[in-house]
Amino acid sequence: MKFFIVKTVAETLDVIANHFHPIVKPIEVPLIEALDMVLSEDIVAGGQVPHFDRSTVDGFAVRAKDTYGASDSLPAFLTVTGKIEMGKEADQALKEGQAQAIPTGGMLPAGADSIVMIEHVEEIDDLLNVYRQVAPGENIIRAGDDVNAGDLVMAAGQRLRPQDLGVLSAIGITTVRVYPRPVVAILSTGDEIVSPDKKELAPGEVRDINSMTIGAAASQCGAQVIYGGIVADNYEAFAAKAYELFNQADLLLLSGGSSVGTRDYTEQVMQSLGKPGVLVHGVAIKPGKPTIVAKAGEKPVMGLPGHPASALIIFHLFVVPLLKKLQGQSPAQIDQRIRARISRNIPSAVGRSDYIRVKLEERPDGLWAVPVFGKSGLISTLVRSDGMVEIEANKEGILEGDMVSVHLFQ
Amino acid sequence: MKFFIVKTVAETLDVIANHFHPIVKPIEVPLIEALDMVLSEDIVAGGQVPHFDRSTVDGFAVRAKDTYGASDSLPAFLTVTGKIEMGKEADQALKEGQAQAIPTGGMLPAGADSIVMIEHVEEIDDLLNVYRQVAPGENIIRAGDDVNAGDLVMAAGQRLRPQDLGVLSAIGITTVRVYPRPVVAILSTGDEIVSPDKKELAPGEVRDINSMTIGAAASQCGAQVIYGGIVADNYEAFAAKAYELFNQADLLLLSGGSSVGTRDYTEQVMQSLGKPGVLVHGVAIKPGKPTIVAKAGEKPVMGLPGHPASALIIFHLFVVPLLKKLQGQSPAQIDQRIRARISRNIPSAVGRSDYIRVKLEERPDGLWAVPVFGKSGLISTLVRSDGMVEIEANKEGILEGDMVSVHLFQ
């Protein structure tokens, strides 16, 4: 038998970070279709937002110095000379001793420098009694307060969230250049694997789980998925189908069996697709050791473990960052994992990263991560789990009560 | 002027939880389209997964007692009588003193009760030398270990994640009954609001931000979005357009101006759509006080603040749980917010919940939430934020270094 020189989790992540990049040219899409896509260009504002001084309250536009010293007992008296309409310019400038009614969001008239809130005035006969003084700029958003012309509003590599689309709308951008959704093809292999729609299983047969699980996970990451079906453990058939899918996709995922024989096939098939070939053959991780990363031309090809729970854990660890790379997304600046306490001691072998499935529990003293045990072949353990906890390769385990980071399954 | 009796955040969430429910009948969809949809039925397994005893390693199927006492110096000797093929039943039962080669995932032959790993044997001439003893059940997944017939695999109300689709595939389920995606219509109002594709703005005009932001946020929650456009502050036109959209949607969202005049229109329009009418008129929250929740017939109608940042915060707080209710999703069991330390003192008024936009920073001593200040009219503050932190209504503020929960913006 053959022993692989396995890489660590960090080394494997480095391979992914350094060998792959977006291989498809950016496309232009309407903003309305750009949610969750990744910008391929910097966005610089062409104008100001807002492009005029606006009131932030309902009230009266005034000159601040006309209100100085005003109080409940000694109000300032101003003459109301107009009413500003929403979305329109004032038809007259404001002079000393004058006020103009203004709604929230209304445009400040020339000559005014602040707004007195409606709660602090009273109109008595023809005079506006002002009971509070205001400072220049009070209750106003200035032109350019939100965005100034020339501002770098958003950098290439940003995944577009709802608020990002909002600020683009504000500056009048209605189409953006983004990286297209990568096409991910999935092929399951194994003589024992049959389609989920087979009603009665023969002895020894199991239904395909990974196509569905991995396909759904890839589409959550913004990929378009080609379901390649199932191919038997026959090198010719496997290689032919893999080649066909490889040509249609930006990333080919092979969900192999976990037997040595199948792993050998998978590796040979991956090598047959092109140079440089296999970059990572096996990772020091549990579960998920038989993970293979290859590159054929510029395209990535990955071999995932056959066990469904292992395959999904490997997807979260390695395929998610790979899909981000293929979409040109900037690496996350912060660790968005949830912190919780582990509910029991878990031993681990040094030199290997262990991933423990956990269920989160809210207890009076905080959030706890309760391990969900089960062999890596079991998919039901993942259904009962909220996420996974890493025990790093240099640790002999974690102790009950230790604070751990939980990578949530979405 | 008119003062509203505002509700607290908790009271508003109670109104949403108690008054609304899925209004559209469940539909049957293929599993491949069911990702992120919510199950409307309990799923009970009809059979076992796996439905036979499987090997978890490459090795030899044996009778455990034939290996008892085996060691490197004193191996057990067994006769290899066959090789099990993946996906097939063994063609013969295993008798005392025999072994059969078996791959990972292969079906245990009758008569065998355990597997010796390939690493612990040697075939010498015609004899299998076994250097380790195994216990009955060792290296085997038993029939039903993953799922047993009659198990409640998943309950109604579950949002389907990739692993959930996987376990459904495993039990041969290829279509599921789910709640259809709710249809959300969005209408922006305000005389100052113009379409984002207007190139040159007149004085006083601003481009519509909320349609894009709120529409994108709703589609992230699984809704189908009808963009209703912009209507001027004219009761007849506003009411007519709102009525038209209300009839097409399961939830109508009105993004009103924040002036008292516009709020009054919005409330009148909401009342005009049907009984019981407005349930919540204003929430003790900053930003987002002018939030309105109404019910017309069985349908929810919500008025969001006009300020873009306020509107999105209110969306996260109230529309997200409402959309979950409309999709029949069971309430989350756990608080999935991230914990961080706040980087400075923030005062707050008692009796009002404050929501502070924050940026997360990874520092040597852990994760910190750094407030992003800016008036609620500014959308760019949200672009710079990773999430928001609540200062509860009963608090006078939070102190630098306090641990806070951060609700992430996706």
Provide the pLDDT for residue A376. 66
The whole-number pLDDT of residue B337 equals 81
Map tokens 């199948």 to a residue.
Answer: A262
Q: Are residues B66 and B156 in the same domain?
A: no
B215·A105 Cβ contact <8 A: no
CATH code of residue A90: 2.170.190.11
Inter-chain residue contact B196 with A167, CB threshold 8 Å = no
Point out the domain boundary residue: B121, B153, B178.
B178
pLDDT at residue A4, rounded to an integer:
60
Set of chain B residues whose Cβ sits within 8 Å of the Cβ of A147: 380
The tally of domains found in chain B comes to 4
Q: Which residue of A has its CA nearest to B359?
A: A334
Q: Are residues B236 and B291 in the same domain?
A: yes
Residues of B in contact with A335 (CB under 8 A): 362, 367
Mean of pLDDT values over A56-67: 96
pLDDT for residue B261: 76
Domain shared by A96 and A169, yes or no: no
C-alpha distance from B172 to closest chain A C-alpha (Å)? 5
Tell if the CB–CB gap between B220 and A31 is shorter than 8 Å.
no
A109-153 pLDDT tens trace: 999 999 999 999 999 988 999 999 999 999 999 999 999 999 999
Task: Indicate the residue type of B306.
Answer: G
Minimal-distance CA residue of chain A relative to B87: A192
Q: Dihedral, CA atoms, A199, A205, A209, A215, nearest 10 degrees?
A: -90
CA distance A272 to A292: 14
The verdict on residue B6 lying in a domain is no
Is residue B8 in some structural domain? no
pLDDT tier, A251 (very low <50, low <70, confident <90, very high otherwise): very high
Indicate which CATH number applies to the domain containing A383: 2.40.340.10
Nearest-by-CA chain B residue for A359: B334
CB of B147 within 8 A of CB of B49?
Answer: yes
Q: Residue B304 is part of a domain; what is its CATH number?
A: 3.40.980.10
Out of A141, A167, A408, name the one closest to residue B375 (CB).
Answer: A141
B173 touches chain A (CB under 8 A): yes
A320 touches chain B (CB under 8 A): no
Do residue A150 and residue A136 come from a single domain?
no
Amino acid making up residue B124: I
In a domain, B201, yes or no: yes
In a domain, B331, yes or no: no
Phi and psi angles of residue B258, each rounded to the nearest 5 degrees, phi first: -105, 5
Are A240 and A294 found together in one domain? yes
Say whether pLDDT at A3 is over 60.
no
Q: Does the pLDDT of residue B3 top 60, yes or no?
A: no
A154-165 burial by CB neighbour count: b if 16+ within 10 A, else e?
A: bebbbbbbbbbb
**Using one digit for the tens of pLDDT, what is the confidence trace for A349-399?**
999 999 999 999 989 888 899 999 877 668 888 899 999 999 999 999 999
List all residues of chain A from 131 to 150 with a beta carbon under 8 Å from chain B.
Answer: 141, 145-147
* Domain final residue pick, A178, A202, A224: A178
Residues of B numbered 90-119 whose beta carbons fall under 8 angstroms of chain A's beta carbons: which are they? 103-107, 118-119
Residues A60 and A96 grouped into a single domain: yes
Average pLDDT, chain A: 93
What local confidence, expressed as pLDDT, does residue B375 receive?
Answer: 75
- Model confidence at B5, pLDDT cuts 50, 70, 90, reads confident
Same domain, B273 and B189: yes
Q: Is residue B58 part of a domain?
A: yes
Q: What is the pLDDT of residue B141?
A: 94
DSSP at A238: H
Is residue B21 in a domain?
Answer: no
The yes/no answer to whether this complex scores an ipTM above 0.90 is: yes
Q: What's chain B's average pLDDT?
A: 93
The range of the structural domain enclosing residue B343 comes to: 338-408
DSSP A270-293: HHHT-SEEEEEE-BSEES--S-EE
CB A51 within 8 A of CB A146: no
The answer to whether residues A296 and A196 belong to one domain is yes
Q: Stretch A238-266: mean pLDDT, rounded?
A: 90
- Range of lowest pLDDT (A170-184, A201-215, A327-341, B132-146): A327-341
Residue-by-residue DSSP string for B36-85: T-BB-S-EE-SS-BSSS-EESSSEEEE-GGGGTT--SSS-EEEEEEEEPP
Q: What crossing angle do the helices spanning B162-170 and A210-220 adopt, rounded to 10°? A: 160
pLDDT in tens, B227-279: 999 999 889 999 999 999 999 999 999 997 667 777 788 999 999 999 999 99
Are A153 and A271 in a shared domain? no
Looking at the structure, tell me whether residues A311 and A223 fall in a common domain: yes
Interface of B with A in 7-46 (CB under 8 A): 31-32, 35-36
Sign for the CA dihedral angle at B199, B205, B209, B210 comes to: negative
- Give me the CATH number covering residue B38: 3.90.105.10
Res B333 pLDDT > 60: yes
Q: Which residues of A touch B168 (CB under 8 A)?
A: 196, 212
Residue whose C-alpha is closest to residue A103's, from B311, B202, B263, B261: B261
Q: Helix, strand, coil % (nearest 5) of chain B? A: 20, 35, 45
- DSSP structure class, residue A250: S
Q: Read off the pLDDT of each residue in B305-334 and give the average, rounded to a whole number.
A: 92
Average pLDDT of B169-190? 96
Residue B11 lies in a domain: no
Query: Is the Cβ–Cβ distance between B103 and B55 less than 8 Å?
Result: yes
Q: Residue B1: what pLDDT?
A: 44
Instruction: Judge if A189 and A100 occupy the same domain.
Output: no
Partner-chain contact A213 B105, CB within 8 Å: no
Rounded to whole angstroms, the Cα distance separating B304 from B215 reads 13
In a domain, B165, yes or no: yes
Residue with tokens 């279509």: B175
A56-60, B2-6, B177-181: the lowest-pLDDT one: B2-6
The residue out of A326, A358, A393 marking a domain boundary is A326
Question: Looking at the structure, do residues A316 and A212 belong to the same domain, yes or no?
Answer: yes
